[in-house]
Amino acid sequence: MRGPHDVGGLSAGPVDQTPHDQDHWEKEIDALNQLLAQKGYRKTDENRRAIENLGHDAYNTLTYYERWAGALARVLIDKGVLTQDEVDAKVAAVRARLARDAA
């Protein structure tokens, strides 16, 4: 079973090496990850498992920090820190807020 991350030897296109700034939310995900590790809620290997389990389509479509965010939610749900309903409700609230802001 070859995970979507395990691409050694597969053909691939050129690597985009254009430098780019991180968005604020990406820094927030990084900070959240580190804080949750310090507090003992997650380990690097748990995050890796969750990222590798996103599936080929999601793994190859999502950006780097989108994968982190998805994996972090997965780990916290698996461990009972959050429930799927809580995550869904928060996502719906954020979507509604963004729609209002855009209007």
Q: Which residues of this chain interact with other proteins, rule CB under 8 A?
A: 1-3, 6, 8-9, 43-46, 48-49, 52, 78-79
**Which residue lies nearer to other proteins by CB, 50 or 69?**
50
Would you tell me the crossing angle of helices 44-52 and 64-78 to the nearest 10 degrees? 110
CA-based nearest residue to 74, from 84, 64, 62: 84
User: Which string of b and e fits 23-48 if b means at least 16 CB within 10 Å?
Assistant: eeebeebeeebeebeeeebbeeebbe
**Which residue lies nearer to other proteins by CB, 49 or 66?**
49
How near is the Cβ of 24 to other proteins at its closest, in Å? 30
How near is the Cβ of 13 to other proteins at its closest, in Å? 19
How near is the Cβ of 8 to other proteins at its closest, in Å? 4
**Which residue lies nearer to other proteins by CB, 1 or 99?**
1
